[in-house]
Structure 1
Amino acid sequence: MEYQRTDEFNWDYPKPFTLAVSPSGGDIDGLNHTNNAVYVRWCETIGWAHSAVLGLSLADYGRLDRAMAIRRGEYDYLLPSVLGDELLLGTWLTGSDGKITMERRFQLIRLRDQSTVLRGRWDLVCIEMSTGRPRRMPTEFSVVYLPAIVEKIHPDS
């Protein structure tokens, strides 16, 4: 399922990179809603897809011996989703110190009522893959990621 128009939703940030998702039988937990770990997996999937579309893939990370690693993940589970719900997950790069850190945000919208189900945030740090130590972002990262950073649509909310 593809959604060409995302401007009809109440996104926190402009022009999200989106992924249509829907919980399947294996995604439902004992409370009869989507397990929280599934949302985390969807965020990882869209994060990698967005990075690749911007121009940096996992292969590029390996070639450069650098990666943007999650230092902290934060998820606000606002409403449940259930088997078969049609959902649209959006992501954005929303901040960077221009040297070592970046921030990525997520918003998951349930299409039947256009309600936000989840908001998430990752604090990312650039690391040298071979050692795991923090390192300055290579030029390739700055050229690709920094121009993609967006500002919140409603700064006071």
Structure 2
Amino acid sequence: MSASVSMPLGGVQVGSYDSYAQAQAAVDYLSDERFPVENVTIIGSDLKQVERVTGRLSWGRAIAAGAAGGAWWGLFVGLLLGIFAGDGGSWLGSVLTGLLVGLLFGALFGAMGYAATRGKRDFTSTSAIIAGRYDVMCNPARAEDARTLLARFSLRG
């Protein structure tokens, strides 16, 4: 079913909140009050991407991060191969070989990835998309009931 011009995506607005946690708590309250929450949608508006710089990236950090990631993959592969080993010595050998091969290839790929940037991104960061406002929307047939319950929710605090 497509949305019409008269009814926006998700229905009609029954509440608006500054954070996702507040909108989630409101919907949780509706659920606790036995409201049919399958009629509810949370819509984030005024989206922005936030990138938090976490540190400087150097050759050493790039190689170490690649080696650490490769070591985990190598350990995983070594454990899988070790399942089919005949005795304890072969099992340990499979695990150690996988770990070392993964470490070496991870370090190599970490160095290659850092070299490919040619110094244009010498930092590490994390990104998130956050909304400026979160609207709780509801099917118009149930909107008045939802508004009544959410008014009670906002009064409790």
TM-score, length-normalised on structure 2? 0.26
Higher strand share: 1
The higher-RCO structure (CA 8 Å, 6+ apart) is 2
Higher helix share: 2
Decide which structure has the larger Cα Rg and report it: 2
TM-score, length-normalised on structure 1? 0.26
